[in-house]
Amino acid sequence: MMELLSFGFMQNAIMASILASVACGIIGSLVVVNRIVFISGGIAHTAYGGIGLAFFLGISPLLGAGVFAVTAAVIMALITKDNKYRADTVIGAMWAFGMAIGIILLDLTPGYNVDLMSYLFGSILAVPKSDLVYMFILDGMIIAYILTWYRQIHAVSFDSEFASSMGVRSDLIYMSMLVMSALAVVLLIRVVGLILIISMLTIPPYMAERRSNSLKGMMIYATLFSLVFSLVGLVMSYFFNLTSGASIIFVSAICFFLSLIYDRVRTSK
Amino acid sequence: MSTDYAIQVRNLTVSYGPKPALLDVSFVINTGELVGIIGPNGAGKSTLMKAILGFVKRDIGEVYIFGKPVEQTRGLVAYVPQRGTVDWDYPVTVHDVAMMGRYGHLKWWQNESKEDHEIVDECLKMVRMSEFRDRQIGQLSGGQQQRVFMARALAQGAKILLLDEPFAGVDAATENAILDVLTEAKKAGITLVVVHHDLATASEYFEKLLLIKQRLYAAGPPSLVFRQELLTEVYEGKLKVFTDLIKE
């Protein structure tokens, strides 16, 4: 087991797990308490269009994904604000449209790119150092964001009308949460891949929420949960030669169901 | 513009789509009054609340808070929402909900001061929720939750409290507890505007009533508002109950 840690790729993978867990813990908690799971899924899948574009243009895929994800987040914030009742339909359409753009642009890109699968399902064991730098910067932005606006975010998430009555710009805070979710999506792509991101943003925070009386506490617990899930999934994927993203989600989901059973038994006592 | 009025609404018209929710509504509420807003479902009561908070786009008309346009008076009006609009699984304690009322007084780099904590404790005491301060908000009964929201509004230091159906779905004991808090807040000089559903208690609870169904049908003491022809017109089919009321 110890020899595992001597591999450079393993050290990178552990570092990536830590960085991703911070994003999961903070942003995932906001996603869960604001019930924007579907929107986050939409943002993640729209980002695929950006990856396709990046391959087509020969630029960094994470940059492409970032631009698409943030643009999608802003558009979705505007749509859900004015058109609450059919917003999910529009998000569903954007979700599919982003994927379609990605696939078409990849079709148009000469040569077949094997690396593509790693964006769909994640490949934490193959994260290069350069991506760790990106992830580190994005984490820094997320932490700065939450430290600066914690109270406003807390107030808007709990009761946006009350927050507005105190003069908080609830609409801007809401939009900022979606934009930060977009950044978290970009950060998590390497770890679990686009398709599985939703589970990383929801399972650890949900379990954390059951065990915490404050948003802060929820974020810390969620970070720890997702770190444990990532590391266990990572080791599992190494020893059994499994897809890392799927292994991480598998571990999370098993723990999630066990926690549901545990909570049920505990409350019935 | 006289500043004696806590709230002054002039020729207010608000519409969502082609049909106006409120049409040419004008009234004043004096500082320190306890006012009930009554009217049937869909009459525009909640819209009127939101207009006083400056949340809805007005087609025509003005809303003044202590003589100033509503947009310039953030923080003076606090809102106690209907129970149904809040997520009760949210990870927050009673104390922290009340502390949210202080957020408007804090800059982002400031921590909550000793004074903030004292104010919050004082407000929780006033609504008799001190002993529940560390409970998660979802573990309380409906009436207790309502009182926590009142504490939050009081902690905000607001001069006007708008309450949207605080008595809906609470038991008699809680109803009395809420009423006590309203009376105490009134004594402290706070103006209270309450959307209220139950006509049977309206005349007992409020010194002034606004009867609304899209238009303002009457404003004044209950004796003036509880007139058969008015109630018949506003409540249409459900009159029987109210004829009993008027006889009383």
| Each residue's pLDDT tens digit, B131-141 | 999 999 999 88
Q: Is the predicted pLDDT of residue B9 greater than 90, yes or no?
A: yes
- Most A CBs within 10 A among B73, B100, B106, B156, hence the mutation to make, goes to B100
Give the separation between CA A154 and CA B226, rounded to whole angstroms: 43
Buried b (16+ CB within 10 A) or exposed e, A184-199: bbbbbbbbbbbbbbbb
| DSSP run (H or E) holding B30 | strand B19-30
Q: Is the predicted pLDDT of residue B1 greater than 60, yes or no?
A: no
Give the separation between CA B232 and CA B236, rounded to whole angstroms: 5
From the list B86, B104, B106, the residue facing A167 with the nearest CB is: B104
Q: Is B134–A154 a contact, with Cβ atoms under 8 angstroms apart? A: no
Q: B91-125: per-residue pLDDT in tens?
A: 999 999 999 999 888 877 788 889 999 999 999 99
- Most A CBs within 10 A among B46, B86, B88, B103, hence the mutation to make, goes to B103
Residue with more model confidence, B155 or B19: B155
Residue B241: band (very low, low, confident or very high) from pLDDT cuts 50, 70, 90: low
Q: Is the predicted pLDDT of residue B240 greater than 60, yes or no?
A: no
Q: Is the predicted pLDDT of residue B247 greater than 70, yes or no?
A: no
Region B177-196 average pLDDT: 90
HSE-up of residue B214 (Cα within 13 Å, Cβ side)? 9
Min Cα–Cα distance to chain A from B3, Å: 21
Buried b (16+ CB within 10 A) or exposed e, A70-97: bbbbebbbebbeeeeeebbeebeebbee
Tokens of A244: 């890392």
Which of A169, A197, A172 shows the shortest CA–CA distance to A183?
A197
Q: Is the predicted pLDDT of residue B2 greater than 60, yes or no?
A: no
Q: Is A159–B103 a contact, with Cβ atoms under 8 angstroms apart? A: no
Give the separation between CA B246 and CA B48, rounded to whole angstroms: 26
Min Cα–Cα distance to chain B from A35, Å: 10
Residue A144, pLDDT score: 96
**Contact A219/A26 with Cβ under 8 angstroms?**
yes
Residue B245, pLDDT score: 59
Q: What are phi and psi of A230, to 5 degrees?
A: -65, -45
- Most B CBs within 10 A among A159, A170, A210, hence the mutation to make, goes to A159
**What residue type is B70 in one-letter code?**
V
Rg (CA), chain B: 18
Q: Is the predicted pLDDT of residue B243 greater than 60, yes or no?
A: no
**Contact B129/B147 with Cβ under 8 angstroms?**
yes
Which of B35, B79, B1, B5 shows the shortest CA–CA distance to B193?
B35
Domains detected in chain A = 12-268 (1.10.3470.10)
Strand order in the sheet with B191-195: B77-80, B160-164, B191-195, B34-38, B208-213, B215-220
**Residues of A in Cβ contact (< 8 Å) with B87:** 33, 35, 158
Give the separation between CA B236 and CA B238, rounded to whole angstroms: 6
Identify the closest residue of chain A to B54 by CA–CA distance: A165
User: Strand, coil or helix: what is A70?
Assistant: helix
Q: Is A158–B103 a contact, with Cβ atoms under 8 angstroms apart? A: no
Region B59-78 average pLDDT: 88
**Residues of A in Cβ contact (< 8 Å) with B55:** 161, 164-165
Residue B239, pLDDT score: 53
Give the separation between CA A227 and CA A196, rounded to whole angstroms: 16
Tokens of B9: 């609404």
> What ranges in A83-169 are assigned the alpha helix state H?
87-108, 116-121, 129-158, 160-165
Give the separation between CA B56 and CA B35, rounded to whole angstroms: 21
Q: What are phi and psi of B42, to 5 degrees?
A: 75, 15
- Most A CBs within 10 A among B79, B109, B139, B145, hence the mutation to make, goes to B79
Q: Is the predicted pLDDT of residue B84 greater than 80, yes or no?
A: no
Residue B95, pLDDT score: 96
Mean pLDDT of chain B: 87
Q: Is B90–A158 a contact, with Cβ atoms under 8 angstroms apart? A: yes
Residue A215, pLDDT score: 96
Torsional sign, CA A223, A229, A233, A236: positive
Region B17-22 average pLDDT: 85
Residue A32, pLDDT score: 95
Q: What are phi and psi of A9, to 5 degrees?
A: -65, -30
Residue A34, pLDDT score: 93
Residue B246, pLDDT score: 57
- B93 has a chain A CB within 8 A of its CB: yes
Q: Is A166–B103 a contact, with Cβ atoms under 8 angstroms apart? A: yes
Residue with more model confidence, B63 or B3: B63
Longest dimension (CA), chain B: 60
**Partner residues linked to B93 by β-bridges:** B136
**Residues of A in Cβ contact (< 8 Å) with B152:** 162
Full DSSP string of A194-232: TTTHHHHHHHHHHHHHHT-SSHHHHHHHHHHHHHHHHHH
**Residues of A in Cβ contact (< 8 Å) with B93:** 213-214
Give this prediction's pTM: 0.86
Give the separation between CA A82 and CA A198, rounded to whole angstroms: 25
> Tens digit of pLDDT per residue, chain A (269 long)?
677 788 888 899 999 999 999 999 999 999 999 999 999 999 999 999 999 999 899 888 889 999 999 999 999 999 887 766 778 888 999 999 999 999 899 888 887 665 677 788 888 888 888 889 989 999 999 999 999 999 999 999 999 888 888 888 899 999 999 999 999 998 888 788 888 899 999 999 999 998 999 999 999 999 999 999 999 999 999 899 998 888 999 999 999 999 999 988 988 77
- B97 has a chain A CB within 8 A of its CB: yes
**Residues of B in Cβ contact (< 8 Å) with A168:** 103-104
From the list A164, A165, A218, the residue facing B91 with the nearest CB is: A218
Number of H helices, E strands in chain B: 9, 10
**What residue type is A93 in one-letter code?**
A
Identify the closest residue of chain B to A219 by CA–CA distance: B91
